[in-house]
């Protein structure tokens, strides 16, 4: 069965520092991949998605992610963290073709300190 | 504005009572989903529906029931058979085709004591 692994349940960075959140998927066929952000007591908001059109995907709020097939990874980055980036981030995968059923990673909580 | 509305935001129930969580969407999406979120476990799929009057069990359907009588609505009932019902419940919708993302509501936090 396909799975999504997010390395690090908590990540802490300084304001202005690079943000790197890791995501790996298990699949012999590259799936569609998504990153979502969740603020406390709210639903999930789509940050970006990979659909095989380009390996480097740009999203909202200055985030981007790079799809690396050889590493089965889809890590999320942002060059300079802002206090407002503090939230929980979820990576999700859906098999290309077939029904739209997402598999989520366990999430990474990002803390940004001054 | 189009979106997904979940109500209520917070819900409190006594153990042994059934409770129904509301989910309405005006995005004209065919597919709707219910997820359960617990700390450190990500989101787990309870039920999903691809079309009106049809739905399928997800990974953790035991103790839950749903209906899909209208395209816009997908209520979730948490029954007394659900052993650990206290959680944050998220409803989502999407179009069926292609790599379409899920659109989420703002969730309902259910506390059962």
pLDDT single digits (tens) B68-108:
999 999 999 999 989 999 999 999 999 877 678 899 999 99
pLDDT in tens, B14-42: 999 999 999 999 999 999 999 999 987 78
Return the pLDDT at A19. Answer: 98
> Of all residues in chain B, what percent carry a pLDDT higher than 90?
83
Q: Helices (DSSP H) in chain A: which residue ranges? A: none
Using the Cβ of B96 and the Cβ atoms of chain A, whether some distance falls under 8 Å is answered with: yes
Q: Is there a contact between B109 and A96 if contact means CB atoms under 8 Å apart?
A: no
Q: Residue A44 has what pLDDT?
A: 94
Q: How far apart are CA A67 and CA A71, in angstroms?
A: 9
Query: Which of 16-45 (B) contact A at CB < 8 A?
Result: 31, 35, 40-45
- In this prediction, residue A98 carries a pLDDT of 60
Q: Nearest Cβ partner of B101 from A49, A99, A106? A: A49
For residues B95 and B2, is the Cβ–Cβ distance under 8 A? no
pLDDT-derived band at A65, boundaries 50, 70, 90: very high
B54 close to A (CB below 8 A): no
B107/A107 CB distance under 8 A = no
Query: Which of the listed ranges A15-19, A24-28, A39-43, B9-13 does the model predict with the highest average pLDDT?
Result: A15-19
A31-64 pLDDT, tens digit per residue, is: 889 999 999 889 999 999 998 778 899 999 999 9
Going by pLDDT thresholds of 50, 70 and 90, the confidence category of residue B55 is very high
B38: CB partners within 8 A, 6+ apart: B44, B87, B88
What digits encode the pLDDT tens for the residues A76-106?
A: 999 999 999 999 999 999 877 666 678 899 9
* Predicted pLDDT at B39: 83
What pLDDT, on a 0 to 100 scale, did the predictor assign at position A28?
72
The CA distance from A8 to A20, in Å, is 10
């Amino acid at each position: 069965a396909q799975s999504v692994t997010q390395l690090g349940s908590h990540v802490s960075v300084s304001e202005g520092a690079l943000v790197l959140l890791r995501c790996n998927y298990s699949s012999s066929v590259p799936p569609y991949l998504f990153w979502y952000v969740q603020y406390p007591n709210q639903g999930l908001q789509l940050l970006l998605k990979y659909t095989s059109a380009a390996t480097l995907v740009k999203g909202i709020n200055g985030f981007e992610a790079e799809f690396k097939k050889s590493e089965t990874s889809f890590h999320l980055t942002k060059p300079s963290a802002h206090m407002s980036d503090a939230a929980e981030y979820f990576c999700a995968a859906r098999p290309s073709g077939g029904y739209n059923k997402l598999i989520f990673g366990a999430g990474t909580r990002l803390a940004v300190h001054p | 504005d189009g979106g997904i509305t979940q109500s209520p935001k917070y819900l409190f129930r006594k153990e042994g009572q059934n409770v129904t969580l509301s989910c309405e969407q005006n995005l004209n999406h065919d597919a709707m989903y219910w997820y359960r979120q617990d700390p450190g476990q990500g989101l787990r799929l309870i039920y999903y529906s691809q079309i009106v009057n049809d739905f399928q069990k997800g990974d953790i359907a035991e103790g839950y029931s749903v209906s899909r009588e209208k395209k816009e609505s997908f209520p979730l009932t948490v029954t007394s058979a659900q052993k650990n019902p206290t959680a944050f419940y998220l409803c989502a919708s999407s179009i069926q085709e292609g790599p379409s993302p899920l659109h989420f509501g703002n969730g309902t936090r259910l506390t059962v004591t």
